[in-house]
Amino acid sequence: MPRSSDNLWDLAVAEVQAKENTEDESTASAETDRSVFFIGNKNGGKTSIILRCIDRDEAPKPTLALEYTFGRKAKGHNTPKDIAHFWELGGGTSLLDLIQIPITVENIRTFSIVLVLDLSKPNELWHTMDSLLQVTRKRVDKVVADIGKSNSKSANQITQNIWRTVANNHPDRELIDPFPLPLLIIGSKYDIFQDFESEKRKIICKTLRFLSHYFGASLLFTSKAEAHKSVLRAFVNHLAFGQDKSKVVSMDQNKPLIIPAGSDSLSQIGTPPASDGDLRQVSARSPMELWKKTYARAFPPENKNASKDLKDPAKDAQYAERDVDAMRAVKDQELEQYKRNADKSWKSMNLGLHTQ
């Protein structure tokens, strides 16, 4: 309430401050609505991780394409609940076109990525990581560019936020390329991985440490074991609900890796896991290429087209519905007829244009 001693200037200042406080509260309220996008290996455990983190005691089902669910958590007593939107991409690397759907101009400021890599399939690891992150980065760059067309300040702020996980005085600041969104890399099925030979575990651990550090990401190994549940929830809930970051750090390759973003360094990771002679034989133009080629020598990528592994859900016997399938067949025929008619119309239109 204005005081009798306030002059016009004091009243104006108070009004501006009140407006700024209202805007800050509105922004804080908007930030309680976050989105987390799970991508990674097919059958890598993405659904199980999501169910764990939102306390749903149900058996995970195969993810057909792109699926959505949500979770709520209260900040405290008598306070509104935070909402987290969980998106999950199925099919491994076979449905890359769907990545563009969840990432939008409206939600990119509170959007995070969780990349789940199946540790039991080391030959698929690099290809899965590279394919998914490349397409995701391309989509993010496009969305930021779209924002920049109308609000360059907002686009610049999103770009600057990339470096939040890397301290200004970090020795590797000039040597890494942080991912444009908060990124958590999860190595799943640690229970199988821990039985690998020591040298194989070393190569995979060092490689994932390099990749996570290079992308400014957090790294976490986990399995279905109850002992891994609390740490997993802490990392995911930080992204989904803004809860406190996990302070646990473990860089011992004989234990599950737990490395928060910004806490590792190239000096701690060391050189790619190969002999000096082998490294000299590798021709690479960048550290990323060197690590890729070194990893491929130990775990050659499998030559197969991932898209061939994906079945059409409409033709999957486990989802058969006689009436629905019959109607689907009719609609498929109508669609084909529509395409033929549209093609004829387009061709006749072109001919008409050329004769004018």
Q: Is the pLDDT of residue 176 over 50?
A: yes
Average pLDDT over residues 320-344: 74
Average pLDDT over residues 47-61: 86
What pLDDT does residue 56 have? Answer: 82
Q: What is the pTM of this model?
A: 0.77
Average pLDDT over residues 322-350: 70
Question: Across the chain, what does the average pLDDT equal?
Answer: 84
pLDDT category at 31 given cuts 50, 70, 90 is very low
pLDDT category at 336 given cuts 50, 70, 90 is confident
Which of 18-32, 33-47, 134-148, 281-295 bottoms out in mean pLDDT, i.e. has the lowest?
Answer: 18-32
What pLDDT does residue 347 have? Answer: 53
Higher pLDDT, 349 or 134: 134
Highest mean pLDDT among 160-164, 212-216, 310-314: 212-216
Asked if 65 contacts 95 with a C-beta cutoff of 8 angstroms, the reply is yes
Q: Is the pLDDT of residue 284 over 60?
A: yes
Task: Give 119-129 pLDDT, tens digit per residue.
Answer: 999 999 999 99
Highest mean pLDDT among 61-65, 165-169, 294-298: 294-298
Task: Give 77-93 pLDDT, tens digit per residue.
Answer: 666 788 999 999 999 99
30-298: CATH topology? Rossmann fold (3.40.50)
What pLDDT does residue 73 have? Answer: 82
Q: Is the pLDDT of residue 188 over 50?
A: yes
Which of 6-20, 70-84, 205-219 bottoms out in mean pLDDT, i.e. has the lowest?
Answer: 6-20
What pLDDT does residue 318 have? Answer: 58
What pLDDT does residue 82 have? Answer: 86
What pLDDT does residue 160 have? Answer: 87
**Token pair for 285:** 């133009």
pLDDT category at 283 given cuts 50, 70, 90 is confident
Q: Is the pLDDT of residue 308 over 80?
A: no
Nearest Cα neighbor of 163 from 152, 150, 149, 178 is 178
Task: Give 227-262 pLDDT, tens digit per residue.
Answer: 888 899 999 999 999 888 888 999 999 999 999 999
Edge-to-edge strand ranges of the sheet holding 81-89: 66-74, 81-89, 33-40, 111-118, 183-188, 218-221, 258-259
